[in-house]
Amino acid sequence: MIEQEHRGYLIKVSPVNPKSWVIQNMKRGGSLPMVFDGLFTDRHTAMRIIDSYIDKNGAVNAKAKSTGGT
């Protein structure tokens, strides 16, 4: 099965329709945004959707920066 990781998400061939692609979350138990639900015609379209979502809503797995003590 063909799959590719892109910015914390897994893009792989759909098990239902081998000519389409699906997006899955790489983290165990994480929820998938509704914009990623469905089938995509090609891998690059799925990558653009992921990029635009992350650019709009912030980075995946972003951790708050802590300031060290003096």
- Chain segment 28-70, per-residue pLDDT in tens: 777 888 999 999 999 999 999 999 999 999 865 444 444 455 4
* pLDDT band with cut points at 50, 70 and 90 for residue 20: very high
Coil, strand or helix at 44: helix
* pLDDT given at position 59: 62
What does the buried/exposed string (b/e) look like for 13-49 if buried means 16 or more CB atoms within 10 Å of the residue's CB? eeeeeeeebbbeeeeeeeeeeeebeeebeebeebbeb
* pLDDT band with cut points at 50, 70 and 90 for residue 1: low
* pLDDT given at position 63: 44
Coil, strand or helix at 49: helix
Q: Which amino acid is at 55?
A: D
Phi, psi of 33 (to 5 degrees): -60, 145
pLDDT surpasses 60 at 17: yes
